[in-house]
Structure 1
């Protein structure tokens, strides 16, 4: 079993490209905020132009097509082929499993590296309460259809206090699915999650007691498992991906963020105007990346301080890692 923290690198880049914000579902933890991200659907010419903006480092850049639900876009297949033609390092489609517009008929397994399916419960009851009635069966059917056509598939499980009790059931669920990767995500307090009552994120104790063990059990099946580090050890130095790596979160209204925690606010580093990537004026998220605080992530401290805990002296009990810092387990 091999476990490693995936280090940040300026030589590697991720382009999280939201080509629309529309979706057929209404998941309780959806991070999309149309007031901040736009309600428009990008046309294929704009998608191609915007992909070209990031193509100078195409060979080092992973493209992830997102929404909303990206397969609702009738020209997603053309977007995929454009990204392929520009030579991006890898191409992924994140989907809720409904696979609209016959996307599996319009692309082949050589066009993309992964179809990534979201499932947020090991049972229909839990998953469908979060994502909508019938979504559990739809995801399972979607994976089967994709694997029948030799697409490489991955699964994303977004952990919250609504579903962490079922995470330990997931090794048995994925055993027969023939997926290649399993991603455990920590729920972000943004979008819909920021408007819910109660604490959706789990405690440090719960996270550390459950996540690493489940990750190792799934990895033992030959599936690569990735999950956010979340909590730094005392001897670990905090690093902000916005400062030491190239990650871009692009939305249909032209906003380009480098920190996903900021996406509910007009703090974006860049805007796309007239098909040019333009730096936004101060103060934006980039002006905050260099700040050093005992709590670790300054964005977390500013935007979602409910994630932090302090002792009787007022000192932070732990440092929060950058949400882009991942642990990876494989055999």
Structure 2
């Protein structure tokens, strides 16, 4: 505009590039970014100390909550009008829309009604229309009302006037935002000198949820306009000359034209610039050479699948995309070491619960296999989109225009969904739990022995040869996983306290840098005070006691030893007596046919002993556990719920090995099998398994799972056999074999599942 009206006649005030501008938090919890309203007014007053401005143009965006009055914008406009009266100054709001924003289509007259001091509003693109209005104003025609912005030819536009922006102040603002928000990871960083840019406008595709191309009259084909190659290269060179180190490319779809994208990447590489495209790219237009050029330059590559079910993509979203291209993009990006984010929606019209599960399963599959981050959000109908029209048709009501679309867009199901709101929320909750579990801290579970002084009816390792693990090999395993970044280890058994190397192993683990060390024990050896004191002061951080009955008779029926109850409870008291501050003690119970109706009494025992943490475990079909010792699962779950409700706030509970559907109102307490995705178990013979995969060997899915909102975080139902698992035969010489010895897996369970047998035979292992 400066070039249009002459140097010196146009001034620019940028709230994001003012010395001292930063991030402030308002009393209502909202963030305010940039210069204060009073600071902006002071700058404008200073620039116009000797004369009034003929016209003032203020940028207006979707972030100003159209059509509602934004208090900060309103205060700025009121302050401008107070200083510059109507008689001397025209006041114009301009959308400054280019592309890529989630545009909220509203009645422009409603916007103007909320800002009575404003003369005119320019919708959509403003570069052509605003200068024309001002030219007419200088000829005596005052701007008024709502104007539809004319779309410019991009090559005819001058580059943005960055020379009029205080870039050092802009850099300082970005740095302060990063520091004040305290985010350890930024998907799209604003480090160094990060500058925004747009090389194209619009999108030729017609997805129902998208608000792109609002400047295109309804019924006309959507198009994309792009800089010519020469203009694009010159633009990038100009940004580099300004000291740019990273570009935030706000194109709605930068890679829809191959020649354009090739030219962009070629120049970015030549200029050694980093860049990100927050609005995403088309996965089916990504070529291997593009990914190679992006390696090390893109912090996060973003593409959109919208759904993981082809019918929904094609018939509902009407996105012209084969989901095979999404999988191929994930595979290629992973191979090229380019981080990838894939966008999905749930809650679309006509989408079934089974299809929601299909999307979540597809998203998690690509995350597990290729580390393609799944960005799942609710389908939100923005005014002006076809999705909004569908929602209004479904409900028979006009959708409300919200004051703030940001939180709603992220967190709330809408009227578009064919799935009930509560069910959709359960889908999202479960997905988030599953995603967190698959990226959380890794844990090692080490069976230090299969020797045990109890004979539990349900023991998962009770059919294995009773041998201690070899201390040298187990230390090697600890070191191997510590080098991989693992900082949590559980020592289990058998009964780990019967291994004389347990305490030395705990000390070795802490010396290696393991921050959390747990031991699960029946506690009987802790009846000896000296041992109890040594154990709780060995460096462990948590100690869990296995107690399966509230009295000697019930406990003995589960563990097969008459004196076990007295020794276990005395051992717990000894450990509580000597435990240093910071060591947490708790109780594990396994629910069986003999104790499932006595969990209330076990909770009372837990409290009376002085423990404030109780894990309620359901049976796993390994070892001795069979259908003969299993209670009715729903009855046992219902009783457990009653107990947890009664003791809520006093004892911390976790429920283990139970599908979510048995406790729908207590799902936050249920620890699904898939939470063990990052846990590895080391057997006594040093064989290692992924715990979630190992447990999944005995899980089965039923028809009810297809529409269950917890399916993505649940392995299904356990099917228990009527007879114990056949013996695991372990040869003592296998315990001492070097970890890289191919023969170290020769000791395997007889009668293991057919799939595992086949895998072992394929590896050349003899199955006993």
TM over 0.5: yes
Of the candidates 424, 441, 459, which is equivalent to residue 12 of structure 1? 441
Unmatched 5+ stretches in structure 2:
1-428, 706-710, 723-768
Secondary structure class of the residue paired with 2:553 = helix
Unaligned runs of 5+ in 1: 268-284, 307-331
TM-aligned CA deviation for residue 139 of structure 1: 1.3
In the alignment, the residues of structure 2 paired with residue 228 and residue 247 of structure 1 have an alpha-carbon distance, to the nearest angstrom, of: 15
Tell me whether 1:125 sits opposite 2:522 in the alignment: no
Which of 473, 481, 486 aligns to 1:54? It is 481
Q: Which has the higher strand share?
A: 1
| TM-superposed deviation, 1:260 | 6.5
For the 8 Å contact 1:39–1:252, the answer to whether it is kept is no
Residue 142 of structure 1 deviates from its aligned partner by: 0.6
Equivalent of 1:202 in 614, 618, 632: 632
Task: Kindly indicate whether residue 470 of structure 2 is the aligned counterpart of residue 43 of structure 1.
Answer: yes
What TM-score does the superposition give when structure 1 sets the normalisation length?
0.70
Superimposed CA distance per residue, residues 126-156 of structure 1 (whole angstroms, 9 cap, x where no aligned partner): 1111112111111110111001102531100
Please say which of residues 92-101 and 166-175 is displaced more in the overlay.
92-101
- Could you tell me how far 1:217 is from its partner in structure 2? 2.7
> What residue in structure 1 maps to residue 542 of structure 2?
114
Cα deviation per residue 1:35-80 (whole Å; 9 max; x = unaligned)?
Answer: 5xx543223222211111211355x542111111101111111100
- Indicate if the aligned counterparts of 2:677 and 2:691 stay in contact, CA closer than 8 A: no
Residue number in structure 1 paired with 2:504:
78
Contact 2:519–2:542 (Cα < 8 Å) also in 1 = yes
Size of the aligned set, in residue pairs, is: 270
Q: Which residue of 1 aligns with 2:572?
A: 143
Task: Indicate how the Cα distance of structure 1 residues 202 and 114 shifts in structure 2: closer, same or farther if over 3 A, else same.
Answer: same
* Larger helix share, 1 or 2: 2
1:84–1:111 contact (8 Å) kept in structure 2: yes
For 2:674 and 2:688, the matched residues in 1 are separated by 12
Cα distance in structure 2, aligned partners of 1:145 and 1:110: 15
CA distance in structure 1 between the aligned counterparts of 2:676 and 2:470, rounded to whole angstroms: 32
Aligned partner of 1:180 among 582, 589, 612 = 612
Of structures 1 and 2, the larger Rg is shown by 2
Corresponding residue for 2:491?
65
Aligned residue for 2:522? Answer: 96
**CA deviation string 1:182-201 (max 9, x = no partner):** 1110012221113xx63614
**Structure 1 residues 187 and 229: CA distance shift in structure 2, 3 A:** closer
CA distance in 1, matches of 2:605, 2:592: 19
Q: Does the CA contact (< 8 Å) of 1:51 and 1:83 recur in 2?
A: yes
**Residue of structure 1 aligned with 2:640, choices 211, 223, 235:** 211
The whole-number CA distance in structure 2 between the counterparts of 1:218 and 1:74 is: 37
Q: CA deviation at 1:108?
A: 4.5
Q: Within 5 A, what are the aligned runs for 1:154-165?
A: 154-165=586-597
Q: Contact conserved, 1:10 with 1:244, CA < 8 A, in 2?
A: no
- What TM-score results when the alignment is normalised by the length of structure 2? 0.32
CA distance in 2 between counterparts of 1:108 and 1:161 reads: 33
Describe the SS at the equivalent of 1:133.
coil
Answer whether contact 1:187 1:201 (CA < 8 A) is retained. no
